[in-house]
Structure 1
Amino acid sequence: MFACGCLIITSAAGSLAGIEGFAGTPLNILSGIFTDVTQGLDNLVSDLREIQRLRARNAELEEALARSQAELVELREIASDAQRLAALLDYTNTFTNQETIVAEVISYDPNALFKTIVINKGSRDGIAPGMPVVTDQGLVGRVIDVTSNAARVLLIIDPSSYVSARLQTTRAQGSVRGQLTGNLEMIMIPLDAEVQEGDIVITSGLGGNFPPDIPIGQVTSKRQFEFELNQVAQI
């Protein structure tokens, strides 16, 4: 009886182990699945944090790039201003017998009846009506109105503007006037004068309104109609 009891117990123990192993299998599977899910969530959180970090870094880089581009534009503008001032200084040195005053344009209305600009120098700086205004490229206009700290300049492209001029090569005389289109034309050129595209037009000094030899522009074309007494050149 004792042996049978032992055998029964031994047999029962083995049966229980089998049952426990069978019951533990799903638990092990669930545990593995839970571990995989947990690891996946950890990886997802880590990936999200990395994405946020990369986005923040990207925003920092974009901001730094924008600052660098703005600084580059500013440096280019400074270099351009310096180049213009250097060219203007070289040009003003050609007026050895005349005082020159450097000014900046502070206002321009392209839709106004008259083509004018306003500069930031006035009577207290020595500006007076009738003074010619030039850039390093040549003649711009003349002063028509002055206050203590500003002056209005009538541009040579205004239709009411007339400038005594001549061709630099042939020295043929004429008059440069503005047009409604904003262009210039040289009128009253003698019929026998040779006019070619590319000819430089400069002030003649006649009439005393402008000093001589100030560049005005280049001839782009010419026309001469039948029975006209003069030639006309577009500038």
Structure 2
Amino acid sequence: MAHSRSPYGARRLAIACFALLLVALFLLPTQIQGLLQYLDGPVGYVVRVPLEAIASIDAGIVDRWERYVALQGVQEENQQLRKEIEWLRGQHSQLRESVAATERLTDLLQFKQQALPTMVAAQVIGRDATNRYRAIVLNKGESDGIKPDMGVVTPAGVVGRVVKTTGASSVVLLVTDPSNAIAGLIQRTRDEGVVEGTQQGLAHMKYIPLLSTVRDGDRVVTSG
């Protein structure tokens, strides 16, 4: 008695055979795959189509892998560049600090050569903790000959005046404090006035004669 084969079973068999063919072709050496691509006729067509598909898949895998490797290389290079940039920034900051320190020392040496013998060099060791006054604390006091109402200057100009002293320190009220006022002289015009601090932390000169020809950039000096 003959058995009829269902179309579904035949389709499954065809799919299985095609899958086995793909696996076999995929496992073939590359040289043999290249030779099979030149086969003519129905067999050549059947073989060539899956080979082309396999070659396309293989090329895609290789391309994606190369891109992945290249991307990984770029990421590592970027990380290395970021580290080098951070290191260079640190070196640049240190260099700027060194240059600024050298300039300050040069100015101080020149200022010391021009200063009067009675001047005393001091360092800032603190500031007003209450923030009620714009004041600084110096590391020189009564034992160094410092007295209240003495003027404090730097190579850049007037800083303020001493308002309080101890044996080893002194408090200086800055010229920018609103409660501070010192006599000033416009060097070019010889006009006199009073230099006072402002709430904004600046200093301004008032009581200048109405007919004064003062202009921007004029230097103001004081004997305070």
Q: Structure 2-normalised TM-score?
A: 0.65
Counterpart among 29, 36, 47 of residue 49 in structure 2: 29
The 5 Å alignment of 1:173-188 reads 173-181=192-200, 182-187=202-207
TM-aligned CA distance change 1:137 to 1:25, over 3 Å: same
- Decide whether the 8 Å contact of 2:176 with 2:198 is kept in 1: yes
Residue correspondences, number? 182
- Decide whether the 8 Å contact of 1:127 with 1:151 is kept in 2: no
The 5 Å alignment of 1:49-88 reads 49-88=69-108
- Aligned equivalents of 1:107, 1:64: Cα separation in 2: 38
The 5 Å alignment of 1:99-110 reads 99-104=119-124, 106-107=126-127
TM-aligned CA distance change 1:128 to 1:36, over 3 Å: same
Q: Deviations over 1:79-129 (max 9, x none)?
A: 1221133123212322132233142465477x933222345x244983734
Q: Which residue of 2 aligns with 1:139?
A: 158
Unaligned runs of 5+ in 1: 1-19, 205-209, 211-235
Residues 1:163 and 2:182 aligned together: yes
More moved, 54-63 vs 167-176: 167-176
Q: Which residue of 1 aligns with 2:214?
A: 196
TM-aligned CA distance change 1:51 to 1:107, over 3 Å: farther
- Aligned equivalents of 1:102, 1:35: Cα separation in 2: 83
In terms of fraction of residues, the more helix-rich structure is 2
- Aligned equivalents of 2:72, 2:205: Cα separation in 1: 65
Q: Which residue of 2 aligns with 1:14?
A: none
- Give, as a single letter, the amino acid of the residue that structure 2 aligns with 1:65: I
Q: Structure 1-normalised TM-score?
A: 0.62
- Give, as a single letter, the amino acid of the residue that structure 1 aligns with 2:95: L
Task: Provide the secondary structure at the position in 2 that maps to 1:69.
Answer: helix
RMSD over aligned CA atoms reads: 3.3
Task: Provide the secondary structure at the position in 2 that maps to 1:154.
Answer: strand
Unaligned runs of 5+ in 2: 1-39
TM-aligned CA distance change 1:44 to 1:194, over 3 Å: closer
Residues 1:39 and 2:77 aligned together: no
- Aligned equivalents of 1:156, 1:166: Cα separation in 2: 15
- Decide whether the 8 Å contact of 1:143 with 1:153 is kept in 2: yes
- Decide whether the 8 Å contact of 2:195 with 2:203 is kept in 1: no
Task: Provide the secondary structure at the position in 2 that maps to 1:93.
Answer: helix
TM-aligned CA distance change 1:34 to 1:135, over 3 Å: same
Percent identical pairs in the alignment equals: 25
Offset of residue 173 of structure 1: 4.4
TM-aligned CA distance change 1:106 to 1:72, over 3 Å: farther
- Aligned equivalents of 1:167, 1:70: Cα separation in 2: 43
- Give, as a single letter, the amino acid of the residue that structure 2 aligns with 1:196: V
